[in-house]
Amino acid sequence: MVCKIVYLASLILASAIDINGNDLTEAEKAEILADHNKFRSITALGNTDRQPAVADMIKLEWDEELAQSSKKHAEKCVWKHSAADGSYGENLAAAASTADNLGFLTLKNGIENWYAEHTDYTYESRSCDAVCGHYTQMVWAKTTRIGCAWQLCGPGLINQNYPFQSILVCQYAPAGNWNGQFPYKKAAADSDIASACPTGYFSNKLTGLCEKNTNPTTDPIQSPNEVVPVPCTKKELEKKTLILDKGKEKKVKCKYIIRGDKMTQINLCQSGTGEKSPEFRCTCICSKF
């Protein structure tokens, strides 16, 4: 039987192991960034349980300098935070297994575990019933950049009982989790979501995020018909697909968008093999926004 355990960060020192680095692919970098912005969007729109909506949540961008710094620390294979000088924040996650199956996807679960800490956080009192620092860093509104890395290690990262162990390091700038500060400015009403974006950013009312205005000569007000991804978690998204291909029904991975406040299906849907055809018809329903 294969046993697998996922851990979140703590300040426990472990012995260093010299193992070659595991570089993230461009697709994996994009996936980490998308996951963070998805959870920031869910929180900004007021759809994170027990947490208020947000007036000033900035959409994150990938930072290769932070990624290289994360890689440098991950390659040490030690279960402790790097010696940060306050210029960046840092989240760690680790996994251990009896089998050689600890790839990127295993560590990616750590990102969902960081977000899940919201259940123990109380915004009004800025208090935490257990561990919440990973979540508050993820949704720290003034953080604008992220860079991550992962590393396959051996016994000694988190304990000596599992031969295969790995670590995920994500660094954030500017750093969050400052004592006495709220992670973001609360939106008093739905109309206040993304209403306090800083200079150089425009309000995307569909995602609830403040996005960088890459063309300052244009009006930064977003068109109500602009197409953006639906910010749903896996549990909140129901995928209902029915296609006819040579008389047989097949399940496909449905790509979905919204226009304004209405769901819209995409004519070309991608099958599990990557095949696309106008014959594919998808209906995707997001249970809440």
Q: Tell me the average confidence (pLDDT) per consecutive run of 10 residues in the chain, 289 residues long.
A: 39 30 86 96 96 98 97 93 85 89 82 96 96 97 97 87 91 95 96 96 95 65 37 38 37 40 35 41 35
Domains of the chain: 26-192 (3.40.33.10), 230-273+280-288 (no CATH)
The reported pLDDT for the residue numbered 228 is 37
SS3 label, residue 25: coil
Around Cβ 126, how many Cβ atoms within 10 Å?
Answer: 14
Q: Alpha-carbon distance 22 to 153, whole Å?
A: 10
**Contact partners, residue 148, CB within 8 Å, separation at least 6:** 24, 29, 32, 66, 67, 70, 168, 169, 170, 171
Sign of the C-alpha dihedral computed for residues 106, 107, 108 and 109 taken in this order: positive
Angle between helices 26-44 and 104-116 (to 10 degrees): 10
* Exposure b/e, 184-212, CB count within 10 A at least 16 = b: bbbbeeeeebbbbbeeebbbbbbbbbbbe
Encode pLDDT of 21-35 as tens digits: 578 999 999 999 999
For the residues of 70-102, what is the DSSP string, one character each? HHHHHTT--SS-----SSSEEEEEEEEESSS--
Q: Alpha-carbon distance 216 to 134, whole Å?
A: 34
Around Cβ 10, how many Cβ atoms within 10 Å?
Answer: 12
Nearest CA among 123, 154, 133, 118 for reference residue 8: 133
**Contact partners, residue 15, CB within 8 Å, separation at least 6:** 78, 156
Q: Alpha-carbon distance 151 to 173, whole Å?
A: 21
The reported pLDDT for the residue numbered 29 is 94
Q: Alpha-carbon distance 171 to 140, whole Å?
A: 13
**Contact partners, residue 61, CB within 8 Å, separation at least 6:** 33, 144, 145, 146, 212
Nearest CA among 52, 63, 37 for reference residue 188: 52
> Tokens representing 267?
């004519």
Inter-CA distances, 42 with 38, 46, 213, 224, Å? 6, 7, 21, 19
Q: Alpha-carbon distance 43 to 54, whole Å?
A: 7
Contact 115, 135 (CB under 8 A): yes
β partners of residue 164 = 97
